[in-house]
A and B are shown apart, each in its own frame.
Chain A
Amino acid sequence: MADTRHDAVDTSAPVLQFRGVTKVFPDGTHALSDITFDVRRGEFVSIVGPSGCGKSTILRIASGLLPASRGDVNLADDNIGYVFQDATLLPWRTVRKNVELFGELHKVDKEELTRIAQDAIDLVGLTDFEDHHPRRLSGGMKMRVSLARSLTLNPGLFLFDEPFGALDEITRERLNEELLNLFLSENFGAVFITHSLYEAVYLSTRVIAMSPRPGRLIQEFEVPFKYPRRPELRFEPEFAELTGRVSAALRGGSQ
């Protein structure tokens, strides 16, 4: 079933739509220039580009934290998951209470919330760590809590801003597997920002390369590999070839 997933991308309305979005900050910094792309449910779109090209700004605009200067942004649903590089857990709350936070903010019924939070905790493999405080968790576990917290609201769109950027290679690869499993089971749309081209290609249905500031989209790459993807995929020639093409596009764009 999962093999056919790539063809099963929801072709109805996109969950996120950018049309000619430009962003100029009040101080005159021209961050984004004419950004247009769509994300549908079941699509995993990675954005790669040099530091400062406006990747985080795209997500902040998509989530409504920032207004666009020009252009249109359409969200199918306000219910989005936003995962930052830092797990942004509240240190005074236990794992359970951290995972329950968003539900509390949305006034979800207490009993219902307890159940949803437990499901999310189990889903990210943190069963039996519910009563720990973030201080006692490793970086990878904190990131899992952050994922679980966003999963409680069952969003149709996830925004990831370099979520695994601060983690070591081994943890990062493991979390990549787990994220793909979540993607396959929960069927959300995702925008994923990373500095690692390997991570981008490995996870995504599509990779978008951006130019240096002011950020423009240089090129989009469809990733043809079927899900579920095995970790060994990273060492296959087709994978290297595609990664190489993305890399070349980025280098070309920075000249």
Chain B
Amino acid sequence: MTSEEKLLEARPTIIQSEKGGTSIPQPEADQGRLARTLVTAAAPAGFFVLFMAGWYLVSYVIMTPRRRFLMPPPHEIIAEGFGKSDNLIQILTGLWQTTRVAFLGLVIAIAIGLVLATLMSQARWIENSVYPYAVVLQTVPIIALVPLIGLWFDYNFQARVIVSVIISLFPIITNTLFGLRSADSSHHDLFTLHGATRMTRLRKLMIPGSVPAMFTGFRISAGLSVIGAIVSDFFFRQGAPGIGRLLDIYRLNIQMEMLYVAIFWSSMLGVVMFWGFGMAGNLLTRKWHDASLAGG
């Protein structure tokens, strides 16, 4: 039986359920999905348990009591970072500061990146004139620029945002440009045959087709913008402290528990940004990428 016939056979059910306004009931499929989710959750959970066990082992067995401060056991870190309100407020304030820098930096990078990529997709000469600079921006070790940017912009919020923009711009340009170029030549032929203008082609073919790649770029850049925010903060040592500054302070004061807490929060920030864009991208494109979503 061909897949075509199967679909035709399945037709009455699909129509009924859609007329009823509900998605196709699929108890087995839902169970299967639940089981799969459990399995995919179980592996990282198992690893987490092992990791914690290993940590305690290092803290209590391998480290001598005198050197234990280098790797304090997890419960002490939690007590220090989450149990004491002063510490908690300090770190959350720093986190908020860093989040603002990273987020604003990312938004600006996205705006610039989308515009540049769109222009580059429209003419080779624009691509040829812009691309080398984008590459240079990417290959210059950003750390080397940080002091200069700090000096220019007075080590303030603005300066941090600029570092964040510079460090997160490149993946947005390259991925979006790749996405805009990804439309099949036969699709382009269709648009040519029907006299589509450059603008129509961009709006109805190239931009929608670039969405998956675009979001890949956003996701990568989200992580980078957090790095940019932390690095600039770490180097500037001035202005309202963010996580980067706190990392440095904790290191100098040998507040080892808090150092770990700061690492934890900055990772969480990166992870949340990465996932946020991943989910947004999936939501936008799931209907055309994921055949398994029968409910749609």
Query: Which residues of A line the B interface, CB within 8 A?
Result: 63-65, 80, 82, 84, 86, 88, 90-92, 101-102, 104-106, 128, 131, 133-141, 168, 170-171, 174
Interface size class of B (residues with CB under 8 A): 35 or more
Name the contact of A136 in the complex, choosing from B2, B184, B194, B291 (C-beta under 8 A).
Answer: B291
CB nearest to A63 among chain B residues: B193
* Known contacts A65-B192, A105-B200, then 20 further A-B pairs from the complex at CB < 8 Å, ordered by chain A residue: A63-B193, A84-B186, A88-B190, A90-B204, A90-B208, A92-B211, A92-B285, A101-B204, A105-B191, A105-B194, A105-B195, A106-B195, A133-B296, A135-B289, A135-B291, A138-B2, A138-B7, A140-B4, A141-B4, A170-B2
Q: Smallest Cβ distance from A75 to chain B, in angstroms?
A: 12
Which residues 256-296 of B sit at the A interface, judged by CB distance below 8 A? 285, 287-291, 294, 296
Top 8 closest A-B pairs, CB basis? A91-B288, A105-B194, A138-B4, A140-B4, A138-B3, A135-B291, A88-B186, A92-B208
A170 and B1 alpha carbons, distance in the complex (Å)? 9
Q: B78 near A: Cβ within 8 Å? A: no
A131 and B23 alpha carbons, distance in the complex (Å)? 13
Query: Which residues of B line the A interface, CB within 8 A?
Result: 2-7, 11, 14-15, 18, 184, 186-187, 189-196, 200, 204-205, 208-209, 211, 285, 287-291, 294, 296
Q: Smallest Cβ distance from B54 to chain A, in angstroms?
A: 44
Q: A92-B208, A141-B7 are in contact. Are A106 and B192 (CB under 8 A)?
A: no
CB nearest to A175 among chain B residues: B4
Name the contact of B4 in the complex, choosing from A63, A102, A139 (C-beta under 8 A).
Answer: A139
Q: A105-B194, A133-B296, A135-B291 are in contact. Are A88 and B184 (CB under 8 A)?
A: yes
A65 and B187 alpha carbons, distance in the complex (Å)? 13
Q: Smallest Cβ distance from A225 to chain B, in angstroms?
A: 27
Q: Smallest Cβ distance from B218 to chain A, in angstroms?
A: 18
- The answer to whether A134 and B288 have CB atoms under 8 Å apart is yes
Instruction: List residues of chain B with CB within 8 A of the CB of A128.
Output: 11, 14-15, 18
CB nearest to B5 among chain A residues: A170
Q: Smallest Cβ distance from B5 to chain A, in angstroms?
A: 8
Instruction: List residues of chain B with CB within 8 A of the CB of A138.
Output: 2-4, 6-7
A105 and B288 alpha carbons, distance in the complex (Å)? 22
A14 and B296 alpha carbons, distance in the complex (Å)? 47
- The answer to whether B7 and A90 have CB atoms under 8 Å apart is no
Q: Which of B187, B191, B288 has the most CB of A within 10 A?
A: B288
Instruction: List residues of chain A with CB within 8 A of the CB of B290.
Output: 135
- The answer to whether A90 and B287 have CB atoms under 8 Å apart is no
A selection of 13 A-B contacts at a CB cut-off of 8 Å is: A84-B186, A90-B204, A90-B205, A90-B209, A101-B204, A102-B194, A104-B204, A105-B194, A105-B195, A105-B204, A131-B18, A136-B291, A138-B6
A75 and B4 alpha carbons, distance in the complex (Å)? 36
A106 and B190 alpha carbons, distance in the complex (Å)? 12
CB nearest to A159 among chain B residues: B193
- The answer to whether B7 and A133 have CB atoms under 8 Å apart is no
Q: Which of B18, B195, B285, B287 has the most CB of A within 10 A?
A: B287
Instruction: List residues of chain B with CB within 8 A of the CB of A139.
Output: 3-4
Q: Which of B4, B189, B190 has the most CB of A within 10 A?
A: B4
Name the contact of A90 in the complex, choosing from B187, B200, B285, B289 (C-beta under 8 A).
Answer: B187
CB nearest to A85 among chain B residues: B186
CB nearest to A132 among chain B residues: B296
- The answer to whether B2 and A140 have CB atoms under 8 Å apart is yes
- The answer to whether B194 and A133 have CB atoms under 8 Å apart is no
CB nearest to A153 among chain B residues: B194
- The answer to whether B208 and A106 have CB atoms under 8 Å apart is no
CB nearest to A128 among chain B residues: B15
Q: Smallest Cβ distance from B17 to chain A, in angstroms?
A: 12
A210 and B255 alpha carbons, distance in the complex (Å)? 83
Instruction: List residues of chain B with CB within 8 A of the CB of A168.
Output: 2
Q: Smallest Cβ distance from B118 to chain A, in angstroms?
A: 18
- The answer to whether A86 and B11 have CB atoms under 8 Å apart is no
Instruction: List residues of chain A with CB within 8 A of the CB of B200.
Output: 105
Q: A90-B208, A91-B288, A92-B288 are in contact. Are A137 and B190 (CB under 8 A)?
A: no
Instruction: List residues of chain B with CB within 8 A of the CB of A84.
Output: 186, 189
Q: Smallest Cβ distance from B261 to chain A, in angstroms?
A: 43
CB nearest to B189 among chain A residues: A65
Instruction: List residues of chain B with CB within 8 A of the CB of A133.
Output: 287-288, 296
Q: Smallest Cβ distance from A73 to chain B, in angstroms?
A: 15
